[in-house]
Amino acid sequence: MSHRILLVEDEELNRMLVKAVLSRAGVDAVRDAELVDATTLAEARASLRDGAYDLILLDLNLPDGHGLSLARELRAGEAPADRPKPVVVAVTASVLPQDQKDALDAGCDDFLDKPYAAADLVATVARHLR
């Protein structure tokens, strides 16, 4: 079964790096996953309306708002009711303990600090796609 990942990231270089790392991962579920990207919250919401995702890699600082607003919407049931809720991994360069707590309180399932090692990205994605 192929998994679907929604990458919500406004920086093109970061999107390219995530795609490169995941496509070369040594874990089948990660390497074979379909990766769809969105550069704004609006694009992410549209992608979520159009299809189901197993995992969302969610940058928190986006041009049209804070990523945690999307996490809150998903956890509040504002996602399509006929689909399982995706795992949400908050991704941010802010490493303050309060930011991690805020992400988890908003409904994120995990937290990944930028910059992260490729192995950490793969391990995080693999852990949630099993």
**Treating both helix axes as pointing N-terminal to C-terminal, what angle do 118-129 and 12-23 enclose, rounded to 10 degrees?**
70
Q: Which residues contact 110 (CB under 8 A, 6 or more apart)?
A: 87, 88, 89, 90, 124, 127, 128
Q: For residue 35, what is the domain's CATH number?
A: 3.40.50.2300
pLDDT of 80 over the 70 cut? no
pTM, 2 dp: 0.93
- Residue 66 belongs to domain spanning: 4-129
Give the model's pLDDT for residue 66.
95
Number of structural domains found in the chain: 1
pLDDT at position 96 is 86
Measured distance CA(96)–CA(124) in Å, rounded: 19
